[in-house]
Amino acid sequence: MIAIFLYLTIIQISMQSCSITLIATRHKENGQCTSNALFHIIEQIAPDVIFEEVPPSKFDALYRGLLQDSLETHTIKRYLEKQPISHVPVDADIDEITDTFTKSDYNVMVNIFGRDSSEYRNLYGQRQLIAYEKGFAYLNSNDWTLLSKRLDMLEEQIIKRFDNEELTQRYNAWLNILDLRDNEMISNIYKYVNANKCENGLFLVGVEHRRQIIDKIQEFEIKHHSKLDWNFDYFKR
C-alpha cells in the first residue's frame, strides 16, 4: 500500500513539473490569425512538445503531405524545420462521414440561428470581425468567452422555441461530438505526460473547444488526482 502511494506521489510530482500552454486557434488564416503570427507565438513559448488537434489516423498522412494542411499543421511544419521537437496527435478518431455531416449540420444551424435572431446575427458577426482585427489574442480572451457564452444561450433559446425534433437532434449531435473530442484530447495529453518527459508543452486547439476544455481539465484533475501546470492566459503576460 505504501509502495503504491509513493508511486502515485512520484507520478504527480513529475506531472506537476510539466507546464502546458493552451493556445486557441483558427484552422484557416483569417485577418490577423496568420501562420506568421502563430509561428511567432510558438517561437516565444519554445515548447519541447506540441499537442495537436489532429486524430492519430490522419497524422502520418498530414505530415507526409497527403492531406491538406490546416493553419496549425502548416505552421508546425515550418517550426519543425527550425527546431525538431515532439508533436503528438491527441484528437479523437471520428468517422469521416459522421464528422463531415455534423460540421455541415452545424453550418446549417448557424444560418438558422442568424435568420431567427438579429441579436445572434449581430453578435456572431461582431465576434468574427474582432477576431479578424485582433487575431489570436482575442481568441484567447475573456471577451471572446463572454460573447460565446451569450451565443450559446441564444442557440439554446432558439432550439427550444423552434421545438423541432430534427433540429434538436442535429444540435445535440454537434454538442456530443465536441464533448467526446474534448474528453479524448484531455485524456491523451495526460497519458502522454505520464509516459514521457515533458517540461514545456504547447496545446494548439480550435477556439470552439477552448472554454469547455478549460472547465473539463479542472474536472479531470479532481477525478483522476492528476495535476499539470496549465497556462490559459498566455496573452496576459
Provide mean pLDDT across the span 58-86. 97
Provide mean pLDDT across the span 52-79. 97
Residue 1, in any domain of the structure: no
Given a contact cutoff of 8 angstroms between Cβ atoms, the answer to whether 63 and 18 are in contact is: no
pLDDT of 95 reads: 77
Q: Which domain holds residue 34?
A: 18-236
Give the pLDDT band (50/70/90) at residue 214: very high
Strands in 19-25's sheet, in edge-to-edge order, are 86-89, 49-52, 200-206, 19-25, 229-231
Residue 163, in any domain of the structure: yes
Give the pLDDT band (50/70/90) at residue 15: low
Instruction: Cell 444551424: give the residue.
Output: 109
pLDDT of 161 reads: 95
pLDDT of 181 reads: 96
> What does the pLDDT look like over 95-140, one tens digit per residue?
766 776 677 888 889 999 999 999 999 999 999 999 999 999 999 9
Residue 9, in any domain of the structure: no
Residue 10, in any domain of the structure: no
Does the pLDDT of residue 229 top 50, yes or no? yes
Does the pLDDT of residue 36 top 60, yes or no? yes
* Per-position b or e across 125-144, b if 16+ CB within 10 A of its CB: eebeebbeebbbbbbbbeeb
Residue 3, in any domain of the structure: no
Provide mean pLDDT across the span 23-45. 98
Does the pLDDT of residue 5 top 90, yes or no? no
Residue 224, in any domain of the structure: yes
φ, ψ for residue 50 (rounded to 5)?
A: -115, 125
Does the pLDDT of residue 172 top 60, yes or no? yes
Burial (CB count <10 Å: 0-12, 13-18, 19+), residue 26:
buried
> What does the pLDDT look like over 188-212, one tens digit per residue?
999 999 999 999 999 999 999 999 9
The total domain count for the chain is 1
Residue 49, in any domain of the structure: yes
The 3 state secondary structure assigned to the chain is CHHHHHHHHHHHHHHHCCEEEEEEECCCCECCECHHHHHHHHHHHCCCEEEECCCHHHHHHHHCCCCCCCHHHHHHHHHHHHCCCEEEECCCCCCHHHHHHHHHHHHHHHHHHHHHCHHHHHHHHHHHHHHHHHCHHHHCCHHHHHHHHHHHHHHHHHHHHHCCHHHHHHHHHHHHHHHHHHHHHHHHHHHHHHHCCCCEEEEEEEHHHHHHHHHHHHHHHHHHCCCCEEECCHHHC
Residue 6, in any domain of the structure: no
